[in-house]
Structure 1
Amino acid sequence: MGHNHRDVVFIVLLGATIISGVIALILFLVDGSDIFGLPDTKYGMVFDAGSSHTSLYVYKWPADKTNDTGIVSQALSCDAEGPGISDYVNDLVNAGESLRPCMEKALALIPEDKHQETPTFLGATAGMRLLREKNSSQADRIFEEITKVLGQFPVNFQGAQILTGIDEASFGWITINYILETLVKYTFSGEWIQPSTAEMVGALDLGGASAQISFLPLGRIADPSTNAIFRLYGYNYSVYAHSYLCYGQNQMEKRLLERLVQTRTSEVVRNPCYHGGYEDTLSLADLYDTPCVQSSQTSQPVQSLKVEGTGNPEACYSAVYSLFNFSACLGREDCTFDGIYQPQKHGQFYAFSGFYYTFHFLNLTDGQSLHTANETVWEFCQIPWKQVEASYPEEKQRLYAYCTNAMYILILLTSGYKFDDGTWSDIHFSKQVAGTDIGWTLGYMLNMTNMIPAEAPVLQRAESFSVWVAGVIFLALTIVMSIGSGVIYCFWSPD
């Protein structure tokens, strides 16, 4: 009988040991936070106050991974109703009120106990840069109204500011390389490595008032004003970054219209970039209400002019091309236009914002060749306006401008940034990567919250995790031994 008892005890101990071994293996292979719902989640918010509209982005990340890479994810995006904040100069109260619905939507998503600690920022770009140049007191009053409204919410609002052009360009570069994990990677063997710089990509951004380009050049940057210097994960980066103010889509269109107004031969302005049959009324007060457009007359004899589209892509190309001063480069290879320095570019580029939206509309975001892009734009611009309206009933607001914008993008990317038939395939027209919108906002938040460290991450988390696992295994084995001892005692203890 004792022999049978010992067999039973052996089986119990063996089973318990196997179970504890399985538990230990699971704990080694699975993050304890996946089992117990830890660690805590943190949130951050950034308003992108662009020239034509404002968007709010909510980001989240595990609290114990603040210094890791590729762990920030986008939890929400919200487009505020109405125009960009720079357009509220005569309606100051609504500059702030227009942001309220997106804030309420964001706070409904973020757990209430996280509201007070959620860092919240508002960054304004070229629209406000132009307004500050035109009337700095108006820009200040808009920010005051925004601060008044956002300050009413129970968040850690850290103020509103105007980004410089080089900041807007370089934060876009940080964003795309961060979410692609080309800054630093954590390997399966548990080591942090710096990927080859050849894996890093450039950023092409197109807004309503400005256009940005940023990339990591092969050699040194000759013009210090275009050199954005970062120390990220223990490595130094010298990024070429430039913002072309007045070269955003809306300001480019105004500059084009102003040129057509000045060269018209009648009271009707004929625009070759508008579809044949399109008609509109052009307010001269609105046209000249920007530092990007300089009036050649002290006073306008008329308040508005009629505009008619002619749908002529060849004439459209010539008219848009004339907005660039290519002769200012004097034949230099390291120059784009208007005398602006640009080192030799290389590698892959992600084109987002206006680049993506315009080419997505034309179904040109799937790797089509430059020849196909040119052909598509040319054909689209020649379609009569009534046919365009009937074909795209949901695109009423900016439908008339797609031909102009597409022609402009072609000229900017080829004659300006010098992409050609061979390098056109290096451009990826994208809105998101891994569920995160591409833009400057994520890079801005990472910078403002110091979530990208200057030094390489250390393995503190891995070490602490190993200690935790060892403790759990020790506890499991202690339980097993206790069970075994109890069983032995029950079977062999005297009556």
Structure 2
Amino acid sequence: MGLTWKQRAFTALLGTAAVSGLTALLLILVGTINVLLPPDTKFGIVFDAGSSHTSLFVYQWPANKENDTGMVSQALACQAEGSGISSYASNPARVGESLQGCLEEALALIPKAKHHETPMFLGATAGMRLLSRKNRSQAEDVFAAVRQALGQSPVDFRGAELLTGQDEGAFGWITINYVLGLLVKYSFSGEWIRPLEETLVGALDMGGASTQITFVPGGPILDKTTQATFRLYGADHTVYTHSYLCFGRDQALSRLLAELVQAFSSFYYTFHFLNLTSKPSLSEANATIWEFCLLPWKLVEGSAPPDQDPWLRDYCASGLYFLTLLVEGYGFSEETWGGIEFRQQAGGTDISWTLGYMLNLTNLIPAEVPAPRRAQSFGVWTAGVVFLVLTLAATLGAVGVQLFWIQD
């Protein structure tokens, strides 16, 4: 007596389930390939302790790096409460409190699992340089208070130090050339390439208490105290850099106005207010500044935006000082003036020495090779899913036939 149709259906479904299930298993075990997981992300924190205020920046970069240097991007910018840390000379115990708000924002952004491996550094610039010259004991007390406050954080605190003017200028030069894509950039062919050295630009930085100039010279640097050398993305760079202490905006205006005024300004802020950031000629810049300086004060007050009120009285003096510094001090002429660009940001990144410092620091942080894993290609994964679904359908069908068989 032959098999009934129910027996034949049950046998066929059971056989189909077995074959498809075995096929799916083989695809899972055999059809895998080696893949590299996306590189882990590293973080770093830098405090820029300037003469008039302190800013915190959080940077991030892929852990595998490029030619030993990280491809760094800005993840957070935060301005700390109060004035610069040098203003706490008479009460250093309060300096730590002024930094806590921004530090908490940084810790909230960075995953807790990465806190212990995140380097943090505070660099103080011209304001603390002046305080160190006037009263070294007070300056040391301020630094001690900063180290005590930041040393209690869960990150890898690398210290609080006084940057030299040459360091500030050199790191600023790295920043501007990096954000403009002049140190390394991604090509259409999918490779990282280094542009020609002739395309590198110089950097002019105007702070509250000092001003810096940094560039690649056309010949040898005779005074080695003005030379800075570093290696980035597999290439060595040597620049001329010089810092002029007491020639920053605040210090210059204090001598002009016999009082220290708020310095939340630089070349960019003053020239932006005067609408001089779109590459005007030197004669146009000179005429615009003098035209503004000759306006009646009531007309200046009435036409200025409300948020400019705290600095409105200083724009005439700042503009004249910057013009004199660039022309008489640095030697820019009508022919070379067009090569100057006044910027606050580039590529969504604040132009500050802090990014250059972090780029240089990544050379000291070991790169991590992306972790290999076994994975399936999309086609194999799709086939595996199809056979698994077929196995499940055939199994359910066989169970259904068996139940129907028992009921009979």
Fold match (TM-score > 0.5): yes
Read off the aligned partner of 1:57 and give its amino acid letter.
F
Residue 221 (structure 1) shift: 1.4
Conservation of the 8 A alpha-carbon contact between 1:69 and 1:178 = no
Q: Is 1:101 aligned to residue 96 of structure 2? A: no
**Number of aligned residues:** 362
> In structure 1, what is the equivalent of residue 212 of structure 2?
212
Read off the aligned partner of 2:269 and give its amino acid letter.
Y
Read off the aligned partner of 2:72 and give its amino acid letter.
V
Residue 472 (structure 1) shift: 3.8
Q: Deviations over 1:146-177 (max 9, x none)?
A: 11222232221111000011100000111111
Q: 2:275 aligns with which of 363, 366, 373?
A: 363
Q: 1:407 aligns with which of 297, 320, 331?
A: 320
2:381 & 2:115 partners in 1: Cα distance? 43
> In structure 2, what is the equivalent of residue 390 of structure 1?
302
Conservation of the 8 A alpha-carbon contact between 1:48 and 1:441 = yes
Q: Deviations over 1:15-35 (max 9, x none)?
A: xxxxx9xxx9xx9xxx976xx
1:80 & 1:399 partners in 2: Cα distance? 23
> In structure 2, what is the equivalent of residue 301 of structure 1?
none
Q: Deviations over 1:101-130 (max 9, x none)?
A: 111222222222222222111000011111
Of residues 176-185 and 197-206 in structure 1, the stretch that sits farther from structure 2 once superposed is 176-185
Looking at secondary structure, tell me which structure has more helix per residue: 2
> In structure 2, what is the equivalent of residue 231 of structure 1?
231
Residue 468 (structure 1) shift: 6.7
Gaps of 5+ in 1: 1-19, 259-281, 288-351, 491-495
Residue 180 (structure 1) shift: 2.2
Root mean square deviation, CA, Å: 3.5
Gaps of 5+ in 2: 1-26, 395-408
Conservation of the 8 A alpha-carbon contact between 2:54 and 2:83 = yes
> In structure 1, what is the equivalent of residue 52 of structure 2?
52
1:472 & 1:69 partners in 2: Cα distance? 32
1:111 & 1:32 partners in 2: Cα distance? 22
**What is the TM-score normalised by the length of structure 1?**
0.66
Residues 79-90 of structure 1: pairs in structure 2 closer than 5 A: 79-90=79-90
Q: Cα distance 1:452–1:371, how it changes in 2: closer, same or farther (>3 A)?
A: farther
Conservation of the 8 A alpha-carbon contact between 1:119 and 1:157 = yes
> In structure 2, what is the equivalent of residue 381 of structure 1?
293
Q: Cα distance 1:479–1:56, how it changes in 2: closer, same or farther (>3 A)?
A: closer
**What is the TM-score normalised by the length of structure 2?**
0.79
Q: Cα distance 1:40–1:481, how it changes in 2: closer, same or farther (>3 A)?
A: closer
1:198 & 1:478 partners in 2: Cα distance? 50
Residue 68 (structure 1) shift: 6.9
Q: Cα distance 1:452–1:211, how it changes in 2: closer, same or farther (>3 A)?
A: farther
Q: Deviations over 1:412-457 (max 9, x none)?
A: 111111111111111111111111111100111222342699xxx9
* Larger CA Rg, structure 1 vs 2: 2
> In structure 1, what is the equivalent of residue 247 of structure 2?
247
> In structure 1, what is the equivalent of residue 179 of structure 2?
179
Q: Which has the higher contact order (CA 8 A, sep 6+)?
A: 2
Q: How much identity, in percent, do the aligned residues show?
A: 56
Residue 39 (structure 1) shift: 3.6
Q: Is 1:445 aligned to residue 358 of structure 2? A: yes
Residue 83 (structure 1) shift: 1.4
1:40 & 1:229 partners in 2: Cα distance? 30
Of residues 158-167 and 249-258 in structure 1, the stretch that sits farther from structure 2 once superposed is 249-258
Structure 1 runs of 4+ aligned residues shifted over 6 Å read: 481-484
1:121 & 1:165 partners in 2: Cα distance? 17
